[in-house]
Amino acid sequence: MGTLTTHVLDLSTGKPAQGLQIELFALDGGDVSLKRATTNSDGRVDSPLLTPETIKVGEYKLLFQAGEYLRRVHGISDADLFLDQVPLVFRIFDAAQKYHVPLLLSPYGYSTYRGS
């Protein structure tokens, strides 16, 4: 039973990134917004972005609204903001699998991986 989940960790504080807005898009056949969510106190969204009923093979994009979070938490001014939006484009190749796509964020860089 496949699902898509995510979480965000603020590497510069070592804490979950609470209150970071995320949008999920399906990219096959256009740029279609599927879901919007905001991270909770654990840096996670409260429910899977894709469930066993909604997950499909295809190309997707998670768009993390990092700028608002970095301004609020780190006090970064607009003039000094390096990362505003972080787009992660990935493929779901087996709708029966679980996909976890975390974002490790700092004010001047990020990384991701396929988690479990």
Residue 116 lies in a domain: no
Name the band, by pLDDT with cuts 50, 70 and 90, for residue 76. Answer: very high
With tokens 């995510």, the residue in question is 6
Cα–Cα distance measured from residue 105 to residue 69, given in angstroms and rounded to the nearest whole number: 10
Residue 114 lies in a domain: no
Structural domain that includes position 17: 3-105
Residue 30 lies in a domain: yes
On whether the pTM is more than 0.85, the answer is yes
How many domains does the structure of the chain reveal? 1
Q: 2-32: per-residue pLDDT in tens? A: 999 999 999 999 999 999 999 999 999 889 9
CB atoms within 10 A of CB 22: 22
Q: What is the CATH number of the domain that holds 13?
A: 2.60.40.180
3 state SS of 62: strand
Residue 92 lies in a domain: yes
Residues 116, 98 contacting (CB under 8 angstroms): yes
Span 43-65, average pLDDT = 97
Residue 18 lies in a domain: yes
Residue 41 phi/psi, 5-degree rounding, is -65, -15
